[in-house]
Structure 1
Amino acid sequence: MIRNLVPVFLGCLFLPLPLLGDFHFESAILAAVFGCFWGGISASRLVLKSDIKIITKVLRAIFLFGLPFFLFSLFRGCFTWHGLSFWILIPVPAVLFGIAIGRFYRKIMAPIPAVLTALTLLFVSIGMLLIEFLTLPHVYFFNHVWGTWPGPIYDETVTIGWNLILFRAITFAWILFLWFLPDWKKSFRVRLTLIFSILILFPSYLFLSESGIITPRSALQDKLEAYQTEHFDLYYANSQFSHQEIDYWALKHEFHFQQIVDELEIDWPEGRKIESYLYASAWQKKAWVGAKFTSYVPIWLEQDQLHIAKEHLDGVLKHEMVHVISKQFGNTLFNGSWSIGLIEGLAEGIAKDASPESTLDQIMAAEPPYPTVEQMEAALSFKGFYSSAGAISYTTAGSFVNHLLEQYPVSNFKEAYANSDFESAYLIPFDSLVSGWQQSLPQVSLDSLDQQNSAFIFSQRSIFQKACPHVVSPIMQLWDDIRFLETLAIYGEALPIVEQLYQMAPENTIIKQKWLQYHLRFDGYESIVEKVSLNDSIPQFLLMKADAFAFQGDWDRAYIELENAWDVLPDPSPGNFRYSFELRADTLNWKVFIRSRYQDLLPNAVSSNFNLPNKILLSQKAIELQRLDVLPAYSALLINEELNTDWFNQYLSLIDRLVFLKEFEEARQWVDLVSALELRPRYQERLQQQQEWLQFMMRVEG
């Protein structure tokens, strides 16, 4: 009885620990490692008479250890079938694998069998991981001892895949092989079993890449199209990138490369090229390399690499490229810094992309009290960095590193980066560096928007702080399916999923809005009229009902609904409704707006009769649809309009693509006009980026 209580008690001790206390793959890995080594060493003992007894004993202890996790997950509402599946597929084969190895050494009368068993399991669990980690680009791993590591911890949706099932089939083949090999002379049945296990193992290892168990660079390059520039070998999903798009992103790669090597004062080695893998979507990236919404750079590999999904390129390309280029002054072991805070802080401090509206310093200045010296030391460490939400850690480290880069020579930072020794690099104490940064923050000008942005970032929670870090509700799973199809612009296949989602949660305003959008896209106007009642108090729904009537040409009822939407607007009205009624100012503008907004259709001709909001939104739709041929015409119409910072993001997008189209004079005029506006500090930073982009492209063109 006491022996049964011991593993239960040990399980209870782990419950308070973040992630490890969840009934999911992390705790299953813990159980697998313990059970594998315990079972293997126990089975290697020469005095052992029954292998079945040790199997039963270890598995019973493992599941008793998991019992508190299971019960606690039920109590908190955190139980998932995927978690249960991980607890079956990870520990059970691991225990049998360990016992098979221990039994093998015992049966062949090997000297010190327990030591050999432990060494073998250490090689399989750690040695094999290191071999894959140091030679392959992916960030998911399979292992016969600890089962699987599915990818970055930021990807909270972790589910059982076919590749794990196939890998565990290989584990069982090894178990059979090791179990029966010592007795191969005994009977034909034993030899037949050995042949069967070999017939599984041999083709399995031949097709590891095809089965998704490993993904070498060569496999990625075979699946993707190649594109070369001076410093990059790009590999991209040609199903999602047009020739024009890949030309654009190739130039952006070279532009950001030049920015970063100049800022960090790096003499780039001649002939050294960076491989950039550009995936069709985050879902394709997850399937191929194990990281879904996490873009990443394997800095520990000799070959420089970037791994980014198409939809994330605009937001993370420069950030990730800093990681690649900073390998030039990283430590000798893994080409980075011993401080994760410095690694990410450098990328954030150079890219400055924490917010489109507030600078790094504004976000920090709006959230006093500022980190103390002790807190900054912790924030730059691995444990401290990941114990907070990613947005908080990245912003804090980014603001601090940005201060160091602005106030001291870059060479000082590069020296500190490699060895994480600030005092020897800067010749002043670390607390003086932190104090200088702290003193600069109160001098930063702030407004209410900065306060809101800061409050939002600092209110986010780390995955370690979430009660149920891996629970994905059926609704969220369907939403994820919709996002996947929308990323690929496969709206027809998404429609039935939207319908299913709406049936599950018709009162959810976000889901209802998505349902209305799809019915406007696919001519379901009558359904919209039926579902949006006169008593609806949500302005967006009433506007979409008005749009349904506009699609039908029933303008009288359309304008009635437009008035109803106006009547329910709060006072003052939210900013997202600022131009809603102007976009629908008359039938001409209304028709143009709804066709572009819901059905991705541009008018046949660019017209000066469109009002300002529609001209701007049509120019953005042209960029979204890769109709850059009409962009100069929209630019010519807009450049004479009165500028307003409400449209700052749209102005920057227009400038960005005009530069790409080599419309340099037009782009320069836009830069001059926008720079004359009263711009927020972050807007000034972003406009400066466009000025540098213009200068870069002009140099490229000679």
Structure 2
Amino acid sequence: MLKKAASYLLPVIIGCIFIPIPLVGDFHFESAMIAAITGAFWAGITTSRTSLKKDSEVIIKITMRVALFGLPLLVFSLITSCLSANGALFWILIPFPAILFGAAIGRFFRKLVAPFPAVLTVLTLLFISLGVLLIEFLTLPQVYYFNHIWGHWPGPIYDETVQVSSSLFYFRGITLLWVLLLWALTDWKKSALPKVLSGISIVGLCVGYIFLSEFGIVSPRSDLQQKLSYHYQTEHFHLFADEEHFSDEDLEFWALKHEFYFDQIVDQLDVDWPEGRMIESYLYANAWQKKELVGAKFTSYVPIWLEQDQLHIAEEHLEYVLLHELVHVISKQFGNDFFNGSWSIGLIEGLAEAIAKDASSESTLDQIMAAKDRYPTAEEMESALSLLGFYADAGAISYTTSGSFVKYLLENYPVSNFKQAYKTTDIESAYNTSFDNLVEGWHASLPDLEIDSVDQRASNRIFSQQSIFQRPCPHSLTETQKLWDDLQYYRITNQKELEEITLRVLFELNPENLIIKREWARNKLESLDAEQVELSIAVDDPDPVLQIFKADAFALLQKWDQAFAQLEITRGVLPESIPRTFTYSFETRSDTLLWKSFTNARYKNIYPSPDEAETYNSTNTLILNELLIEERFDEIISSYAAVLINQEIREDWFDIYIQLIDQLIYMSEFELASQWIEKVNELELRPRYKERLDEQQYWFDFMIVRQ
């Protein structure tokens, strides 16, 4: 009796032990995977015993024990409000079919009277759980996987939104067909029923495996190239893009950026690129399409372990991550022989971050580090460069810290030293000094940097982030978060009606949420439903952005007296922390002509001619130019740029200047672009701004050479 009670109590205790462990203590797919692996091997070994007669009893017993293991996780998720429908579905679809599958294999070897059936069962389960994974890992570009033992790995850990897809239901159907076939084959001679069941299973499996790619179980390169059918070839790249989303001009622009960054990286890292070696770049219409096809939603990635060089990026992320991801591709040339990378994840990502320098648009990597109260010790840095240490922190923290350190190594030692350290992970041998000395040298390079409140805010923002391992409900999404994700999808796919419906529901659920209220007001103004904004935003609303929207609503309704009165009210509620550029909102609305021009452009996509814009103040002309760049109206961007070059420029508008210069260079407006680079360079620029302006000079030189 005591033994029986202990058999029920033990899995509950083990489940309780798992609760404080990050991720696997959550009632979601990670704990379900552990339960599936344990249950499959346990069932397989148990049913392989020659003395066993009642397979169903064993399956029920193991299923109960696995369920008891999950019970504390379920209860804790309920108490902490972390339980989600997806987590419950993962627990149904991952462990329990795995138990049946393991039992079917063990029973199969027992019924065949095979020698050492338990050993054969374990070897078979190991091959299916690890061998099949390794084959797929080394041959397929995707980062999600399905498996009959451990169920499903949905993609990178940085993609925290993990949901059960129809693909998992489809794959588990295949798992159950294998169970049915293995069960029926051993009873083939008993009656006609096993023969019928075997035939049904075989037909079902054949059909199931034929349509693996169609149902999203695998995504081979050929399948991706068929779905991303717009092909563009350059000297070093094959670009594959979504034909309905990328225009000829879009693809030409990004093809040039690929080659530009390639030249930069190869030169900086002194890489002798093999002649004729081509890189495949898969450009997805959006993050949602990328999630569907390769399993990574907001995570851009490079499968460095594959022989074929390739990168996978959604269109909305290209501007921010292309350089970073190309570093990963090119660094394969000096990676280790096993997977073309480094055993130090910190060196892999630190190298990309050191070259891209994109942790912040306003502060350099070193300034962000220097703004910290305390620098990482040598021991902490050694941990941060390791796999577990790197992912223990939030991504922004690990990337920034390792990026600053690697930047120091590249700037103060020959690049060959770093390449050796990258390949061997033996940093001390590569640099012929102790790791402590390298870290001390890095620390010594930081205090001399000039730090201001902008750098401090950037540092605080990055180093206050929590990693997925530190969050109490790492995979749980509120209804608001789900709707917000839907809203972004409808917006990026230009589904206006669904966007408006979703935004209305969000606003009704969260009428006081500032971000949602701003989005709702902006949407209403863009829909020219200014009356709703006028009625819904209080005259004394404490948010200056909403106050400006209310003033714009009056302007769109031609109620100019109320519009200017509202503008004065807005001046009175400006907090000290308001962005500097917000104060220019008053310049764009300083008279009815300027204000009408601004609202026409912002909400109606009606732009004045460059001749008209020449009569406006510099702020209005600049903002109109920014809107033109966003809309990619290339034919008049250069005309606006020619007007602006003669007006006053300010560091506050640096981001717009960079966009303008970038577009002018692409349009081969080299003389005008050169004038802009020279003019912006005359400003007292922040160090990070200087880095970004230098990048435009390199872009300029690259395009000049290609003419």
Q: Which residue of 1 aligns with 2:282?
A: 277
1:662-677 paired onto structure 2 within 5 Å: 662-677=668-683
Q: Which residue of 1 aligns with 2:632?
A: 626
Q: Which residue of 1 aligns with 2:67?
A: 63
Moved more, 550-559 or 507-516: 550-559
Q: Give the Å deviation of 1:199.
A: 1.8
1:204-219 paired onto structure 2 within 5 Å: 204-219=208-223
Residue-by-residue CA offset, 1:91-122 (whole Å, 9 max, x unaligned) = 01000000000011111111110000000000
Choose from 647, 656, 663 the match for 1:650.
656
Give the whole-Å Cα distance in 2 for the aligned partners of 1:413 and 1:529: 60
Give the whole-Å Cα distance in 1 for the aligned partners of 2:219 and 2:577: 54
Q: Give the Å deviation of 1:615.
A: 1.1
Residue-by-residue CA offset, 1:476-508 (whole Å, 9 max, x unaligned) = 111001111222233332000000111111111
Q: Which residue of 2 aligns with 1:262?
A: 267
Q: Which residue of 2 aligns with 1:21?
A: 25
Q: Which residue of 2 aligns with 1:610?
A: 616
* Matched-pair contact (CA < 8 Å) for 2:27–2:88: yes
Moved more, 60-69 or 546-555: 546-555
Q: Which residue of 2 aligns with 1:514?
A: 519
Q: Which residue of 1 aligns with 2:361?
A: 356
SS at match of 2:205: helix
Choose from 657, 666, 670 the match for 1:660.
666
What residue identity is the alignment partner of 2:238? Answer: D
SS at match of 1:235: strand
What residue identity is the alignment partner of 1:288? Answer: L
Q: Which residue of 1 aligns with 2:43?
A: 39
SS at match of 1:148: strand
Task: Say whether 1:594 aligns with 2:602.
Answer: no
Q: Give the Å deviation of 1:191.
A: 1.3
* Matched-pair contact (CA < 8 Å) for 2:580–2:652: no
* Matched-pair contact (CA < 8 Å) for 1:240–1:488: no
Moved more, 534-543 or 254-263: 534-543
Q: Give the Å deviation of 1:586.
A: 1.7
Q: Which residue of 2 aligns with 1:409?
A: 414
What residue identity is the alignment partner of 1:557? Answer: Q
What residue identity is the alignment partner of 1:621? Answer: L
Choose from 84, 90, 104 the match for 1:86.
90
Give the whole-Å Cα distance in 2 for the aligned partners of 1:23 and 1:102: 28
Q: Give the Å deviation of 1:576.
A: 4.5
Change (3 A) 1:469 1:350: same
1:235-246 paired onto structure 2 within 5 Å: 235-246=240-251
What residue identity is the alignment partner of 1:547? Answer: D
Task: Say whether 1:118 aligns with 2:114.
Answer: no
Q: Which residue of 2 aligns with 1:231?
A: 236
Residue-by-residue CA offset, 1:587-626 (whole Å, 9 max, x unaligned) = 2221222232234443356521232122111211111111
Give the whole-Å Cα distance in 1 for the aligned partners of 2:563 and 2:374: 52
* Matched-pair contact (CA < 8 Å) for 1:412–1:426: yes
Choose from 474, 477, 482 the match for 1:469.
474
Give the whole-Å Cα distance in 2 for the aligned partners of 1:535 and 1:562: 12
What residue identity is the alignment partner of 1:289? Answer: V
SS at match of 2:584: coil
Q: Which residue of 2 aligns with 1:568?
A: 573
Task: Say whether 1:96 aligns with 2:100.
Answer: yes
Q: Which runs of 5+ in 2 are unaligned?
A: none
Give the whole-Å Cα distance in 2 for the aligned partners of 1:463 and 1:571: 33
Q: Which residue of 2 aligns with 1:151?
A: 155
Q: Which residue of 1 aligns with 2:451?
A: 446
Q: Give the Å deviation of 1:574.
A: 4.5
Choose from 515, 527, 545 the match for 2:550.
545
Q: Give the Å deviation of 1:538.
A: 2.1
Give the whole-Å Cα distance in 2 for the aligned partners of 1:259 and 1:569: 43
* Matched-pair contact (CA < 8 Å) for 1:212–1:288: yes
SS at match of 1:666: helix
1:486-505 paired onto structure 2 within 5 Å: 486-505=491-510
Change (3 A) 1:310 1:573: closer
Q: Give the Å deviation of 1:418.
A: 0.1
* Matched-pair contact (CA < 8 Å) for 1:73–1:79: yes
Q: Which residue of 1 aligns with 2:202?
A: 198
* Matched-pair contact (CA < 8 Å) for 2:610–2:639: no
SS at match of 1:449: helix
Give the whole-Å Cα distance in 2 for the aligned partners of 1:170 and 1:625: 47
Residue-by-residue CA offset, 1:174-203 (whole Å, 9 max, x unaligned) = 110011111122222221111111121001
Moved more, 219-228 or 438-447: 438-447
Give the whole-Å Cα distance in 1 for the aligned partners of 2:195 and 2:576: 83
Q: Which residue of 1 aligns with 2:485?
A: 480
Q: Which residue of 1 aligns with 2:536?
A: 531
Give the whole-Å Cα distance in 1 for the aligned partners of 2:226 and 2:407: 40
Q: Give the Å deviation of 1:441.
A: 1.0
Q: Give the Å deviation of 1:566.
A: 2.2
Give the whole-Å Cα distance in 2 for the aligned partners of 1:185 and 1:603: 85
1:129-144 paired onto structure 2 within 5 Å: 129-144=133-148
What residue identity is the alignment partner of 1:134? Answer: L
Moved more, 534-543 or 210-219: 534-543
Give the whole-Å Cα distance in 2 for the aligned partners of 1:605 and 1:532: 35
Q: Which residue of 2 aligns with 1:169?
A: 173
Give the whole-Å Cα distance in 2 for the aligned partners of 1:405 and 1:565: 49
Residue-by-residue CA offset, 1:151-196 (whole Å, 9 max, x unaligned) = 0000010000000110000001111001111112222222111111
Change (3 A) 1:284 1:162: same
Moved more, 487-496 or 562-571: 562-571
Give the whole-Å Cα distance in 2 for the aligned partners of 1:685 and 1:639: 21
Change (3 A) 1:119 1:600: farther
TM-score (norm 1): 0.98
Task: Say whether 1:313 aligns with 2:336.
Answer: no
Change (3 A) 1:48 1:600: farther
Change (3 A) 1:300 1:192: same
Q: Which residue of 2 aligns with 1:387?
A: 392
Give the whole-Å Cα distance in 2 for the aligned partners of 1:476 and 1:370: 35
What residue identity is the alignment partner of 2:693? Answer: L
Q: Give the Å deviation of 1:352.
A: 0.6
Give the whole-Å Cα distance in 2 for the aligned partners of 1:606 and 1:264: 47
* Matched-pair contact (CA < 8 Å) for 2:383–2:389: yes
What residue identity is the alignment partner of 1:652? Answer: I
Q: Which residue of 1 aligns with 2:697?
A: 691
Moved more, 2-11 or 562-571: 562-571
Give the whole-Å Cα distance in 2 for the aligned partners of 1:602 and 1:294: 36
Q: Which runs of 5+ in 1 are unaligned?
A: none
What residue identity is the alignment partner of 1:446? Answer: I
SS at match of 1:679: coil
SS at match of 1:336: coil
SS at match of 2:272: coil
Q: Give the Å deviation of 1:557.
A: 2.1
Give the whole-Å Cα distance in 2 for the aligned partners of 1:589 and 1:171: 66
Give the whole-Å Cα distance in 2 for the aligned partners of 1:573 and 1:8: 52
What residue identity is the alignment partner of 1:128? Answer: V
* Matched-pair contact (CA < 8 Å) for 1:44–1:102: yes
Give the whole-Å Cα distance in 2 for the aligned partners of 1:208 and 1:571: 57
Moved more, 168-177 or 425-434: 425-434
Q: Which residue of 1 aligns with 2:348?
A: 343
* Matched-pair contact (CA < 8 Å) for 1:28–1:90: yes
Stretches (4+) displaced over 6 A: none
Q: Give the Å deviation of 1:370.
A: 0.9
Give the whole-Å Cα distance in 2 for the aligned partners of 1:290 and 1:17: 25
Give the whole-Å Cα distance in 1 for the aligned partners of 2:539 and 2:649: 38
Q: Which residue of 2 aligns with 1:458?
A: 463
Give the whole-Å Cα distance in 2 for the aligned partners of 1:688 and 1:198: 63
Matched residue count: 701
Give the whole-Å Cα distance in 2 for the aligned partners of 1:534 and 1:636: 40
